[in-house]
Chain A
Amino acid sequence: MSTVTATTRAELLRLRRWPTLWVLAGVWTTLQVTFSFAFPYLAYRSGDPDAFQGGPSEQLLASMLPKAVPQILIAGTPVFGGAIVLILGALAAGSGYGWGTWKTVFTQGPGRGSALAGTVVSLALAVAALVAWTLCLDLGLSTVVAVSESRDVVLPGLAETARAAGGTALVMGMWTAAGLFLGTLTRGPALSVGLGLVWTLVVENLLRGAANLLDRLATLTDWLPGSAAGSLAGALGADAEGSDATPGVLTILSGQTAALTTAAYLVAFVVAAVVLVRRRDLT
């Protein structure tokens, strides 16, 4: 058994029994159900076009049907889903410093890089499972909506769905890696979660606002992690503007550029975390 396989087995055992993981998955599921289906459906049933985001009823219904699942899947990831998995990554890495478990793990002999690799692979598997679960959930709920409204169940194209799932995994993976990096950098859960949330929910938006006043700043904000993630969501069909617009969805970068930038951030965050773990003293 390779060292990384052993460390991944160890991390998977502790992650799957970690209540935090299930609480965060539950929060994400609740957000998906509430904002992608429950509220829009209630608004649609109320017959008031201004009841939810002000869109026409038919457009509102179409956004909940199976054909729209790829867009539903990725729309919430740049901000809300990203924030949730950022917390997951930050806690997965940062809590180990507070509990002293990194110290115990590192003295078991797998090597620091291999130990962190186990965490990275386990988190990647957790994110992949979360995306798969969300896809199933969205398909199920959208089918229920279609059937209950006597509409044909028209499934989205396989390629389109795969692209959306891949993009969702990439965005979620990037934010998880960002959390992992912050948890490692700050050597604790609280500060890393706080910094991560302030960045994703506040700072990037403020910078983009300021960039409207300063052109030079725009060249920077266009390449921020949130900009790349939002642009990827926009390129994969999530609405960036109009009545169905989802917070965080952007059209700044092209789809390919956004995907490459998001992937680059993912790799950079992981590499930075590994470098920090390997080089720093554990006191």
Chain B
Amino acid sequence: MNGMTETVVSTDRISKRYGDRTAVDGVTLAVRRGEVYGFLGPNGAGKTTTLRMVLGLVRPTSGSASVLGAAPGSPAALRRTGALVEGPGFYPYLSGRTNLRIMARYRGLPDRAADGALARVDLADRGGDRFRGYSLGMKQRLGVAAALLGSPDLLVLDEPTNGLDPAGMAAMRRLVVDLAAGGQTVLLSSHLLAEVQQICDRVGVIAGGRLIHEGTVDQMRGGAVLRVRGEPASETARVLARATGATPEPALDEDGNPVFDVPAAGLEVPEVTRALVTAGVDVHAVAVRERALEDAFLTMTGVAS
């Protein structure tokens, strides 16, 4: 994690208003060097607008931002940034390879840079086909290939797995992990929370244009819980209170059975089970449950699961 403390992208209360509508409202976030930062939020939450501001495609109405120590959208920042925002945009009458050659030229790179980028996304054998004939997944991969041109220090990927089949999604996950392992910083937005959970070091959650959480994936998920189902419930609660030092709140599991969820930290399943049995509790289930990122996300954004 060397170098992880250097901030590559930082925004300071950036906002974007379109007339009376506020798309992004005072977002302050920081992406550190070498990390994979997941930017999460429901549709219309302001993710893409924020990423567009980071890339200088859209000017903030207020607030400021810095990308690789330079102003967003400046050549100094963009030369070291690769981006795929809101779908790939290429010339439909040209092949994927020629499209990449054009983008390589815009970067001041030699044409052969296109071949390496195509190979990175497994499109080398279809590079000669016209872009308009590509499937959605191939177009997406070409967009990622364009973002990889010149091995930029920072990658900004907006929904990079859109349109990909399961194999393509797995390949994209591997690619992002490899990029991060190679020292590149990745800022990505995604609706696929299981994917974010697997590959992101930290996440920022945006809802209604506001950043409502920023931290590690574990911090967002919270700690694991020990779920206990025993009868009688009153005695079960008493034993758990003794073990944890706090009175547990009863809840219902997926089948409607009364259960108790208590923080699992410091508890050992055999010891808890033994204590419950000793207290005369009929133990139906004792299990450690990891909280999924999706649950945390839905709770945070107020969306019912």
Chain A bound to chain B: yes
**Which A residues are within 8 Å of any B CB, using their own CB?**
1, 3, 6-7, 9-10, 13-14, 17-19, 99-111, 114-115, 118, 281-283
Query: Which chain A positions have C-beta within 8 A of B79?
Result: 109
Alpha-carbon distance between A282 and B73 when the two chains are bound, in angstroms: 11
Query: Which chain A positions have C-beta within 8 A of B105?
Result: 6-7, 9-10, 13
Known: A14-B91, A108-B149. 14 other contacts (CB 8 A): A6-B106, A7-B105, A7-B106, A13-B102, A99-B89, A99-B90, A99-B91, A106-B57, A106-B73, A109-B78, A109-B79, A110-B106, A118-B106, A281-B52
Is A14 within 8 A of B107, CB to CB? no
Alpha-carbon distance between A18 and B106 when the two chains are bound, in angstroms: 17
Is B98 within 8 A of A17, CB to CB? yes
Query: Which chain B positions have C-beta within 8 A of A114?
Result: 75
- Within 8 Å of chain A (Cβ to Cβ): is B194? no
Given known A99-B91, A104-B146, contact A109–B75 (CB-CB < 8 A): yes
**Which B residues are within 8 Å of any A CB, using their own CB?**
52, 55-59, 73-75, 77-83, 85-94, 98, 101-103, 105-108, 143, 146, 149
Given known A1-B108, A99-B90, A99-B92, contact A13–B78 (CB-CB < 8 A): no
Is A115 within 8 A of B93, CB to CB? no
Alpha-carbon distance between A249 and B5 when the two chains are bound, in angstroms: 69
Alpha-carbon distance between A85 and B103 when the two chains are bound, in angstroms: 25
B143, closest chain A residue (CB): A104
Query: Which chain B positions have C-beta within 8 A of A104?
Result: 88-90, 103, 143, 146
Dominant secondary structure of chain B at its interface with chain A: loop
Query: Which chain A positions have C-beta within 8 A of B57?
Result: 103, 106-107, 281-283
Is B89 within 8 A of A101, CB to CB? yes
| Most chain A CB within a 10 A radius of its CB, from B59, B81, B108 | B108
A18, closest chain B residue (CB): B93
Given known A104-B146, A109-B75, contact A281–B106 (CB-CB < 8 A): no
Given known A1-B108, A107-B78, contact A19–B93 (CB-CB < 8 A): yes
Query: Which chain A positions have C-beta within 8 A of B74?
Result: 111
Is A110 within 8 A of B81, CB to CB? no
Is B102 within 8 A of A14, CB to CB? yes
A7, closest chain B residue (CB): B106
Is B55 within 8 A of A107, CB to CB? yes
Query: Which chain B positions have C-beta within 8 A of A283?
Result: 52, 57-58
Alpha-carbon distance between A10 and B104 when the two chains are bound, in angstroms: 8
Q: List 21 A-B contacts (CB under 8 A).
A: A1-B108, A13-B98, A99-B92, A100-B87, A100-B88, A100-B89, A101-B89, A101-B90, A103-B57, A103-B89, A107-B83, A107-B85, A108-B78, A108-B107, A109-B80, A109-B107, A118-B106, A281-B58, A281-B59, A282-B52, A283-B57
